[in-house]
Amino acid sequence: YQRRVRGQITKMVSRIDLCLVLLILVVAPHVFAKPLELDETHFKKIVDGSKHVLVQFVEYSWKDSQDYTKVSDEFASFTDLLITKVDISSAKALKEQYKITEFPTTKFFLKGGASPVDYKGDHTPDSLADFVYFNINPKLRHLKDLAARFFSEENSRADLLQEAEGEVKNIDGPLAEIAQFYVLVMKRIIEKGSDFVEKEKQRLSALINNPNTVAAKKTLFNKRVSILNSFRHL
């Protein structure tokens, strides 16, 4: 009897912990910068197909790179996306289920998807962020490709701008602002010349390094610098 009661209490505590986590994410997503740490029990409840979930499997979380926190911070305002990590040293069942053999291993569980998408690139903040963006909406990958072509193919800029504007019309939610910045940069390059890219990167970098710039703005400016880096010669 005591064993059964203890089991029921453990389940109740687990549910309360999960509810508190989800409440923090909904009520104050902008202050929740660190990746959500999942154990095996919470993993099954969080990765249930109801939202996008990026999971980084690490061995001994205290060894985890701080770069992953930057990814979490970038997506803090997304209400249907969670950036999480699992310390595989205490989650052996998940290690076997997903055949984790090296660290870190990152997988993206799309909302409504049956199987995760494996990440195979460098574990840098920009690369991981692009991986998430491109899987949520492949049109963002197309915009990044258009940016490189736009910078290199000066005689085709009017047509490429028109193509980019067509893509942006079909992107909504929190991704819309990112998509619109590609178009804005294209228009500024047409107005001010290709030098606009480097000048704008310098301006944004100064704001990022300014101690008076709030964290949310720094995250936004870092993303814009990343987009500006897409405008380069092929």
Give the model's pLDDT for residue 24: 45
Query: Along the chain (234 residues), what's the average pLDDT of each consecutive run of 10 residues?
Result: 49 52 46 80 95 94 74 91 94 95 95 93 94 96 96 96 96 93 98 97 97 93 96 84
Give the model's pLDDT for residue 77: 86
Peptide bond into 104 cis (omega under 30): yes
Long-range contacts of 175-180 (CB under 8 A, 24+ apart): 175/133, 175/136, 175/137, 175/140, 178/133, 178/140, 178/223, 178/227, 179/139, 179/140, 179/143
Nearest to 173 by CA among 202, 140, 145, 131: 140
Give the model's pLDDT for residue 66: 75
* Contact present, 100 and 70 (Cβ < 8 Å): no
Give the model's pLDDT for residue 225: 96
Give the model's pLDDT for residue 63: 59
Q: Nearest 10 degrees: CA dihedral of 216, 217, 223, 224? A: 160
Give the model's pLDDT for residue 62: 57
Query: What pTM was estimated for this model as a whole?
Result: 0.82
Q: Tokens for 64?
A: 């985890």
Give the model's pLDDT for residue 61: 63
Helix (H) / strand (E) element for 53: namely strand 52-58
Q: Tokens for 3?
A: 């064993």
The β-bridge relationship of strands 81-87 and 36-38 is parallel
Give the model's pLDDT for residue 13: 43
